[in-house]
């Protein structure tokens, strides 16, 4: 068992450090005060050096490096240590770009990939509909090819990032005669057009990050389809794979736990820091057990990947494991807040507060995590059927017959 | 980066597994569960011949010169197979002598302990009403040359040749079977695959291990890792058993494994136990190579696996229906082993408080 990276990789780590010492934070600036231009020029330099967007070809704005899980891990670690900007997050860079690289035409890649990963184009994901959530393939938004254009009618919902989005990638029923899954295509479209109407939805947190999107003869060019007609389900599956990886990250859980620890140090019980309370210590350590389990399990999975082996059931457990950790963190944080847990996290309450009420955002956000990207029950179905080999759900099995 | 067993470790795993599959298969486990002695001398000696009992001991005393990770691999298999009999207490006793003993003590005992010719156990807890009874600071048994008092929760003390005893001040000493004033009494333990005894001393001579106080915590940490490994193996066996049953048992004309409520319960059990193998490995690896992290990792693994195993074992019983509630059904072995792993060497919350201290929270 060897958790080191070997001399070759330690040399690679040293190179990354040399790069970062020269580039981040920008000269005479604190990292927190860096301007958008400084961040952007840092990202460019990091791409040139081969550290970001490693699996994206140079001509699309990536650094086109050979797949190397360990090098990628080292880069993440070192960038994380000095809090240097990493790849942009969001549905364009993390979901659309990999999908186009796998399925897109040359024109689509030329046109969209670079701008997606550089954040020039913001993308949103149009999958869910009022009647199609967990049962996504029952979606009913239609797309009809008329005069060299797709004409879209129907409704999407829970569309995140609508506010800034220039484009949407959407699942649309284009083959009404075909079966449930085989009738779906994957289309790209412009948000700013007369046929697209957005109605923001107010979320449980009071924010409006997601919206309803209505299509009334919305239009998009015939060649803005990704993959074949009717192949949208398959195309979108590879996307969900990317999303699952994005959500299943042990690092994020570890970061969340460190914040919880800070909360436990600042919150008070009987006039003493809560972290000194016996039950709080036990509760913290119980969550720490789960966080450590995820960290060690990620080493196991990383090793299997390096060996070119499948991590079987393990990788299916990541999303729900992270969701469970988020939930436990939120419950303990809630307990530690005491009366301040009754305050709106974004309000401006009269009088003084500790500011800890912002944790109630995490309390609610942890519920979003249990729903978005495949609910926990859907994860359980997948674990039971694909991981443990239990019989397929009768309704779902019936459904998948062509 | 290679966080996986090596080929040699995997071979060890297979060899031990095969040995136990033939020499101590489930029917034999059932017999031993009801048997007075509680374990099979032939299995014990088989393990000794294979070198399993001295994996962690240096080669010059008949060991294999390997580490805690190898012992954890064995403990996991025993957990999976619910193997009755001594193991962790014996290898811990030998580890204590190896690390804290004089040359004479090492030469006298280690070759015989490595081969299994002599059997040892550890006697640490006193009282037992409080979870703290396992911690070296709590040991009260005299530290003079003669001991008077009582140790409880001593695994497989009956028939042991040697006791490594925790002493006041956190030191360790050796007491041989047959020593004057030494008496052993069986406790009525729930887990009949690992028997617990009460040992009393009356002016009993004791041979101190010179560096006992320095290594006591280390040895107990190794024990935490081995119990965590056992719990992982046992928990995996539970999930496997429950899934297997769900695939065979029929009600309402279908396999019960097609009912979503049950499927979700089984999925949740897998979520609890599958990823913990890495946690055990990490704790063993830290014990062997990352000394500054070792105690916190051991405490975390033991605390986490202690609770996970009990939880998964309970749900496994429930998933078996009425048959799960019987003495005949094998899953009871794991429920009872989970209670052993949970309590022995300290309950989860004890080790959570320790981890919190060690991590500087
Ligand atoms: C914060 C947030 C952001 C989101 N962003 C986007 C986005 O950008 N784009 C997008 O397209 N979508 C987005 N979604 C939508 C999300 O993917 C869906 O909400 C999710 O897939 C669940 O669908 P639903 O809301 O229709 O719930 P339903 O499917 O109706 O589920 C309701 C309940 O029933 C349970 N259930 C349903 N089917 C089963 C089953 N077969 N077995 C057991 N239980 C079942 C679910 O687990 C859940 O508890 C977002 C959601 C949230 C919360």
Residue A239's pLDDT band (boundaries 50, 70, 90)? low
Are both B105 and B132 inside the same structural domain? Answer: no
CA dist B13 and A159 (Å) reads 50
Interchain pair A1, B6: CB under 8 A: yes
Look at residue A31 in the predicted model and tell me its pLDDT.
Answer: 79
- The span from the CA of B271 to the CA of B315, in Å, is 13
pLDDT at A30: 83
Q: Tell me if B160 is assigned to some domain.
A: yes
Pair (B162, B268) in one structural domain: no
Q: How does the average pLDDT of chain A come out, rounded?
A: 91
Same domain, B328 and B344: yes
The verdict on B195 and B219 lying in the same domain is no
Cα of A375 to nearest chain B Cα, Å: 13
Is residue A270 scored above 90 in pLDDT? Answer: yes
Residue B14: alpha-carbon gap to chain centroid:
20
CATH number of domain containing B48 = 1.10.540.10
Percentage of chain A surpassing pLDDT 70?
96
User: Any residues with CB less than 8 A from the CB of A322 and at least 6 apart, and which?
Assistant: A247, A248, A249, A250, A252, A253, A294, A369
What is the distance between the alpha carbons of residues B79 and B337, in angstroms, rounded to a whole number? 8
- Given B257, B277, B279, which is nearest A292 (Cβ)? B279
Helix B212-248 × helix B291-319 angle, to 10°: 30
Token duo for residue B4: 């996986």
Which of A81-90, B92-101, B170-179 is least confident?
A: A81-90
Q: What is the DSSP letter of B123?
A: E
Burial of A244 (0-12, 13-18, 19+ CB in 10 A): middle
Ligand 1 pocket mutation pick from A186, A201, A372 by most atoms within 8 angstroms of CB: A372
Is position B1 within any domain? no
Q: What single-letter DSSP state applies at residue A134?
A: S
User: Token pair of B290, please?
Assistant: 């990352």
Whether the per-residue pLDDT at A244 is higher than 60: the answer is no
Residues B234 and B299 grouped into a single domain: yes
In angstroms, the Cα distances linking A206 to A202, A361, A363, B280 are 6, 10, 13, 43
CB contact under 8 A, B3 and A302: yes
Query: Do the chains contact at B1 and A393, CB–CB below 8 Å?
Result: no
Q: Which residues of A belong to the active site?
A: 243
- Percent helix, strand, coil in chain A, to 5, is 50, 15, 35
Q: Find the length of chain A.
A: 402
Q: What number of other Cβ atoms are within 10 A of residue B249's Cβ?
A: 15
End-to-end CA distance of chain A: 48
Identify whether residues B96 and B178 lie together within a single domain: no
Question: Do A322 and A249 meet the contact criterion of CB atoms below 8 Å apart?
Answer: yes
* B259 and B352 housed in the same domain: yes
Nearest CA among B123, B144, B116, B138 for reference residue B48: B116
Q: Give residues with Cβ within 8 angstroms of B300, minimum separation 6.
A: A285, A288, A289, A292, B279, B283, B351, B355
- Does the residue B231 lie in any domain? yes
| Whole-number Cα distances in Å, B332 to B21, B188, B265, B339 | 19, 16, 19, 11
The region of weakest confidence among A84-88, A347-351, B240-244 is A347-351
The rounded distance, in Å, linking the Cα atoms of A310 and B138 is 48
Mutate to test the interface with A, among B275, B289, B348 (most CBs of A within 10 A): B275
Report the candidate in B35, B43, B80, B154 with the shortest Cα–Cα distance to residue B334: B80
Cβ-proximal residues to A310 (8 Å cutoff; 6+ apart), any chain: A304
pLDDT tens readout for residues B38-58? 899 999 999 999 999 999 999
Within a domain: residue B2? no
**DSSP letter, residue B176:** E
Count CB pairs under 8 A between chains A and B: 158
For residue A349, what pLDDT band results from cuts at 50, 70 and 90?
low
ipTM, 2 dp: 0.97
Query: Which residue carries 């297979």 as its tokens?
Result: B14
Go through A149-164 and write b for each residue having 16 or more CB atoms within 10 A of its CB, e for each that does not. Answer: bbbbbbbbbbbbbbee
Please name the residues in contact with A291: beta carbons below 8 A apart, sequence gap of 6 or more.
A250, A253, A254, A257, A325
Q: Cα separation of A201 and A125, whole Å? A: 15
Q: How far apart are CA A281 and CA B235, in angstroms?
A: 26
Based on the fold, state whether residues B157 and B240 are members of the same structural domain: no
pLDDT at site B45: 97
Tokens 């020593």, residue? B179
Place B232 in a pLDDT band, splitting at 50, 70 and 90: very high
Query: Same structural domain for residues B208 and B218?
Result: no
Check residue B227 and give its pLDDT: 98
| Signed CA dihedral, B282, B288, B289, B293: sign only | positive
Cβ atoms of A112 and A120 closer than 8 Å: no
Closest by Cβ to A388, choosing from B4, B266, B278: B266
| pLDDT over 50 (residue B63) | yes
Last residue of a domain, one of B212, B239, B264: B212
What rounded mean pLDDT belongs to chain B?
Answer: 96
My answer on whether B297 and B334 are in the same domain is yes
Same-domain check for residues B247 and B303:
yes
Total domain count, chain B: 3
Domain end, chosen from B172, B189, B212, is at B212
Question: Which class for B220: exposed (0-12), middle (13-18), buried (19 or more C-beta within 10 A)?
Answer: buried
Report whether pLDDT(A246) > 50. Answer: no
Q: Are A236 and A171 in contact (CB under 8 A)?
A: yes
Last residue of a domain, one of B91, B115, B139: B115
What is residue A124's three-state secondary structure? strand
The sign of the torsion formed by the CA atoms of A273, A277, A280, A282 equals: positive
User: Do B331 and B285 have their domain in common?
Assistant: yes
Q: Secondary structure of chain B: what % helix, strand, coil (to 5)?
A: 60, 10, 30
Which domains occur in chain A, in start order?
A: 7-87 (no CATH), 98-230 (2.40.110.10), 248-400 (1.20.140.10)
Range(s) of the domain holding residue B199: 120-212
Worst-scoring range by mean pLDDT, A154-158, A240-244, B294-298, B318-322? A240-244
What mean pLDDT is predicted for residues A129-147?
A: 97
pLDDT, one tens digit per residue, over B118-154 is 999 999 999 877 778 899 999 999 866 799 999 999 9
Please name the residue of chain B whose CA is at the shortest distance from the CA of residue A322: B271
**pLDDT exceeds 80 at position A51:** yes
CATH code for the domain of B154: 2.40.110.10
Beta bridge partners of B186: B197
Average pLDDT (A219-233) is 97
Q: For B239-251, write each residue's pLDDT tens digit.
A: 999 999 999 999 9
For residue A27, give the 3-state DSSP assignment: coil
Of residues A166 and A309, more confidence is placed in: A166
Per-residue tokens: A108: 């689509």
- Rounded Cα gap, residues A94 and A88, in angstroms: 8
Percent of chain A with pLDDT over 90: 72
* CATH code of B325's domain: 1.20.140.10
| pLDDT at B27 (0 to 100) | 96
Q: Does residue B359 surpass a pLDDT of 60? A: yes
Per-residue pLDDT tens for B297-347?
999 999 999 999 999 999 999 999 999 999 999 999 999 999 999 999 999
Using a CB-CB distance cutoff of 8 angstroms, which residues of chain B are in contact with residue A390?
243, 246-247, 257-258, 263, 266
């Amino acid at each position: 068992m060897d958790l080191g990276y070997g001399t070759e990789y330690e040399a690679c780590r040293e190179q990354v450090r040399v790069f970062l010492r020269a580039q981040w934070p920008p000269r005479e600036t604190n990292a927190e005060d860096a301007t958008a231009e400084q961040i952007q020029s840092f990202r460019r330099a990091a791409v040139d050096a081969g550290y970001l967007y490693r699996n994206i070809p140079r001509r699309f704005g990536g650094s086109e490096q050979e797949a190397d899980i360990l090098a990628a891990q080292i880069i993440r670690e070192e960038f994380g240590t000095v809090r240097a900007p990493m790849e942009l997050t969001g549905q364009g860079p993390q979901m659309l770009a990999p999908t186009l690289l796998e399925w897109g035409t040359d024109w689509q890649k030329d046109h969209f990939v670079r701008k997606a990963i550089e954040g020039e184009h913001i993308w949103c994901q149009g999958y869910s509909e009022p009647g199609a959530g967990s049962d996504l393939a029952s979606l009913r938004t239609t797309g009809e090819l008329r005069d060299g254009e797709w004409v879209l009618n129907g409704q999407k919902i829970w569309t995140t990032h609508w506010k800034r989005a220039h484009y949407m990638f959407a699942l649309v029923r284009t083959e009404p005669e075909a079966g449930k899954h085989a009738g779906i295509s994957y289309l790209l479209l412009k948000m700013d057009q007369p046929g697209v109407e957005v109605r923001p939805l107010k979320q449980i947190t009071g924010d409006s990050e997601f919206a309803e999107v209505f299509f009334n003869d919305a239009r998009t060019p015939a060649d803005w389809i990704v993959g074949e007609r009717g192949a949208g389900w398959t195309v979108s599956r590879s996307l969900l794979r990317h999303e699952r990886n994005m959500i299943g990250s042990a690092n994020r859980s570890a970061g969340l736990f460190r914040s919880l620890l800070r909360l436990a140090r600042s919150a008070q019980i009987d006039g003493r820091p809560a972290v000194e309370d016996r039950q709080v210590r036990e509760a913290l350590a119980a969550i720490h057990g789960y966080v450590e389990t995820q960290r060690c399990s990620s080493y196991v999975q990383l090793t299997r990947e390096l060996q070119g082996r499948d991590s079987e059931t393990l990788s299916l457990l990541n999303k729900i494991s992270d969701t469970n950790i988020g939930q436990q963190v939120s419950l303990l944080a809630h307990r530690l807040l005491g009366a301040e847990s009754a305050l709106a996290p974004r309000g401006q309450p009269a009088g003084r507060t500790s500011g800890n009420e912002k944790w109630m955002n995490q309390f609610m956000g942890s519920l979003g995590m249990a729903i978005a990207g495949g609910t926990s029950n859907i994860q359980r179905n997948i674990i039971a059927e694909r991981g443990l080999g239990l019989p397929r759900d009768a309704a779902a099995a019936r459904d998948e017959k062509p | 980066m290679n966080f996986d067993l090596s080929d040699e470790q995997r071979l060890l795993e297979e060899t031990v597994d095969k040995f136990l599959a033939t020499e101590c298969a489930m029917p034999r486990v059932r017999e031993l569960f009801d048997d007075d002695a509680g374990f099979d001398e032939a299995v014990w000696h088989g393990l000794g011949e294979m070198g399993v009992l001295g994996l962690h001991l240096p080669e010059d005393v008949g060991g294999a010169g390997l580490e805690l990770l190898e012992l954890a691999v064995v403990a996991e298999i025993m957990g999976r197979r619910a193997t009755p009999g001594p193991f962790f207490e014996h290898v811990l006793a030998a580890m204590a002598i190896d690390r804290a003993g004089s040359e004479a003590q090492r030469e006298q005992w280690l070759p015989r302990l490595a081969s299994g010719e002599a059997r040892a156990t550890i006697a640490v807890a006193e009282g037992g009403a409080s979870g703290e009874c396992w911690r070296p600071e709590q040991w009260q048994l005299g530290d003079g040359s003669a001991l008077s008092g009582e140790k409880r929760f001593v695994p497989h003390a009956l028939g042991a040749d040697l006791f490594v005893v925790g002493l006041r001040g956190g030191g360790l000493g050796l007491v041989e079977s047959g020593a004057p004033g030494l008496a052993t009494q069986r406790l009525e333990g729930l887990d009949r695959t690992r028997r617990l005894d009460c040992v009393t001393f009356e002016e009993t001579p004791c041979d101190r291990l010179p560096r006992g106080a320095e290594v006591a915590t280390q040895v107990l940490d190794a024990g935490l890792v081995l119990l965590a490994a056992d719990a992982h193996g046992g928990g995996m066996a539970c999930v496997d058993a429950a899934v297997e049953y769900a695939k065979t048992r029929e009600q309402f004309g279908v396999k019960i494994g097609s009912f979503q409520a049950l499927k979700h319960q089984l999925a949740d059990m897998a979520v609890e136990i599958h990823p913990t193998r890495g946690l055990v490995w990490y704790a063993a690896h830290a014990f062997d190579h990352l000394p500054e992290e070792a105690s916190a990792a051991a405490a975390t693994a033991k605390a986490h696996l202690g609770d996970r195993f009990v939880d998964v074992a309970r749900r496994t019983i429930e998933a078996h229906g009425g048959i799960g509630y019987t003495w005949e059904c094998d899953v009871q072995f794991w429920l009872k082993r989970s209670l052993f792993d949970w309590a022995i060497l300290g309950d989860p919350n004890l080790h959570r408080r320790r981890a919190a201290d060690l991590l500087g929270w």
